Amino acid sequence: MASQASAEASAASAAAADTSANTAADLEFLARVETRVGEVMAGVALAGGTLSTTSADRANVSATTAKAQADLARTAANAALTSRNQAATSELACAAYVDQADTLVVAPYTQMAAHLIATQAVVIEHHAFT
């Protein structure tokens, strides 16, 4: 009996050792899976970092382009303002030229008309007394 009890204890011990071995194998497999998952996650994080860097670079280029376009718009607006001021100055100069031209063209006719009126007045006055 003692040997049968010893055999049963040995069998139970062997079964427990087998269970422990299976559990250890399962844990080792899970550890490998977790290691691989960690490697994949590290790769994903690296890819995400690369994408973030690329996105930041593109945003920087976009901001630089926007600033350049704003500078061009400001330059164009200043040129338009300068052009408007020059146009106003030119308009005033043209108006002054037209006024001078009117004076130069009309003045001789005005003088001739005044002389003609004076001559006619003398003629009328002379006829009035004769």
The pLDDT of residue 82:
94
The residue with greater pLDDT, 118 or 122, is 118
Which residue reads 């350049």 in tokens? 68
For residue 107, how far is the Cα from the chain centroid? Answer: 61
Strand, helix or coil at 63? helix
Where does the pLDDT of residue 14 fall: very low under 50, low under 70, confident under 90, or very high at 90 and above?
confident
pLDDT, one tens digit per residue, over 90-118 is 999 999 998 898 888 888 888 888 888 88
CA 84, CA 81: separation in Å to the nearest integer?
A: 5
Q: Give, in order, the Cα–Cα distances in Å from 21 to each of 8, 15, 18, 28.
A: 19, 10, 5, 10
Per-residue confidence (pLDDT) for residue 79, from 0 to 100: 95
| Cα atoms in the 13 Å half-sphere on the side-chain side of 105 | 6
Task: Identify the DSSP state of 9.
Answer: H
Cα 125 versus chain centre, distance:
86
For 41-87, the pLDDT digits (tens) are 999 999 988 999 999 999 999 999 999 999 999 999 999 999 999 99
**Every domain of the chain and the residues it spans:** 1-94
Q: What is the pLDDT of residue 127?
A: 67
Highest average pLDDT, of 2-6, 12-16, 49-53, 63-67, comes from: 63-67
pLDDT at 1: 61
Any idea which residue has 């299976």 for tokens? 22
User: The tokens 């079964």 sit on which residue?
Assistant: 15
